[in-house]
């Protein structure tokens, strides 16, 4: 008992500021939700346009199973597509960097394919891979690897050729030069693309589920829409929003840890 008391007493001495910084967003969020709740009640806004935040929360709490299994499914699809897309994106960038002929033959196609509304492929991909988790991950993958490739190449191009020459004169091999110079140089640009790719991968997963599935956030959205269940739509939007922000902050956290020298563009 005394140990707990002692540590509790010593806590605020050095961390009041930090505790406040952690609580501040929660305070703002609570305040914002309270304002919305009050506005809806006061002006008698119909739930069809904006349900009370408490009703949305109650909806999630009433049937947590559907939201949790939907969230889990969408997380898996997004994560699989995002990781595969990032790895493939960097690998393709390395290949294009090594072999100029390949880059000049196919890079313009990659850029053009960036303007293709990838979602249109959803139907074809689901047909190719069946109505599986894998098919949705493939859509996420396709939608997320292009920005990664483009930005990694941009990062490679920012390398000072004299550095490479210096390393070479010391007898460094290609692999070493890649690991020690090119990859670190590309990291800041790479993370800009990864943040974009994380939200794109989520869009890919959700839309992929529209082409027919039984679980997932996209399915919950569709079902709520067909039933004109506005509270259900809002509840799913809230869950998707949390997922989107969570993914984004995970990548941003990794960026701060890994690219500690800051993101100079």
Chain residues that interact with another protein, rule: CB under 8 A: 25, 28, 48-49, 101, 104-109, 112, 114-121, 123-124, 127-128, 199, 202-203, 206-207, 210-211, 217, 221-222, 224-225, 228, 230, 233-234, 236-237, 240-241, 244-245, 247-248
Q: What is d(CA 86, CA 145) in angstroms, rounded to the nearest whole number?
A: 6
In the complex, what is the shortest distance from the CB of residue 101 to another protein, in angstroms, rounded to a whole number? Answer: 8
| CA-to-CA dists, residue 190 to 92, 139, 150, 243, 253, angstroms | 13, 21, 9, 22, 14
Backbone conformation region of residue 44, classed left if phi is above 0, alpha if psi is from -120 to 50, else beta: left
The three-class DSSP label of residue 33 is helix
Nearer to another protein, 28 or 179 (CB): 28
In the complex, what is the shortest distance from the CB of residue 85 to another protein, in angstroms, rounded to a whole number? Answer: 16
Nearer to another protein, 181 or 230 (CB): 230
Nearer to another protein, 25 or 175 (CB): 25
Angle (CA) 34-37-41 rounded to 5° is: 140
Residue 153, both tokens = 């190449």
In the complex, what is the shortest distance from the CB of residue 223 to another protein, in angstroms, rounded to a whole number? Answer: 10
Nearer to another protein, 181 or 199 (CB): 199
In the complex, what is the shortest distance from the CB of residue 167 to another protein, in angstroms, rounded to a whole number? Answer: 26
Angle (CA) 100-103-109 rounded to 5° is: 160
In the complex, what is the shortest distance from the CB of residue 83 to another protein, in angstroms, rounded to a whole number? Answer: 18
Q: What is d(CA 184, CA 181) in angstroms, rounded to the nearest whole number?
A: 6
| CA-to-CA dists, residue 130 to 113, 136, 141, angstroms | 23, 10, 16
In the complex, what is the shortest distance from the CB of residue 61 to another protein, in angstroms, rounded to a whole number? Answer: 20
Nearer to another protein, 16 or 113 (CB): 113
Nearer to another protein, 74 or 181 (CB): 74
């Amino acid at each position: 008992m005394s140990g707990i008391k002692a540590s509790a007493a010593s806590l605020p001495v050095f961390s009041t500021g930090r505790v406040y910084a952690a609580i501040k967003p929660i305070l703002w969020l609570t305040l914002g939700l309270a304002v919305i709740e009050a506005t809806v009640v006061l002006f008698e806004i119909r739930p069809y346009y904006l349900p009370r935040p408490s009703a949305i929360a109650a909806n999630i709490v009433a049937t947590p199973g559907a939201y949790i299994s939907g969230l889990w499914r969408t997380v898996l699809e997004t994560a699989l597509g995002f990781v595969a897309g990032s790895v493939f994106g960097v690998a393709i960038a390395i290949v294009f960097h090594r072999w100029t002929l390949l880059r000049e033959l196919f890079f313009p196609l990659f850029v053009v394919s960036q303007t293709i509304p990838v979602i249109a492929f959803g139907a074809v991909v689901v047909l190719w891979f069946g109505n599986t988790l894998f098919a949705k991950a493939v859509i996420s993958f396709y939608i997320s690897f292009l920005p990664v490739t483009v930005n990694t190449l941009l990062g490679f191009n920012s390398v000072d050729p004299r550095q490479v020459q210096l390393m070479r004169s010391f007898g460094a091999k290609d692999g070493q030069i890649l690991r020690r110079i090119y990859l670190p140089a590309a990291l800041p640009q790479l993370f800009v693309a990864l943040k974009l790719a994380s939200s794109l991968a989520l869009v890919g997963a959700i839309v992929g589920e529209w082409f027919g599935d039984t679980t997932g956030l996209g399915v919950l959205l569709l079902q709520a829409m067909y039933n004109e269940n506005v509270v259900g739509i809002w509840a799913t939007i809230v869950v998707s929003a949390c997922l989107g922000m969570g993914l984004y902050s995970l990548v941003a956290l990794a960026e701060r840890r890994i690219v500690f020298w800051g993101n100079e563009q």
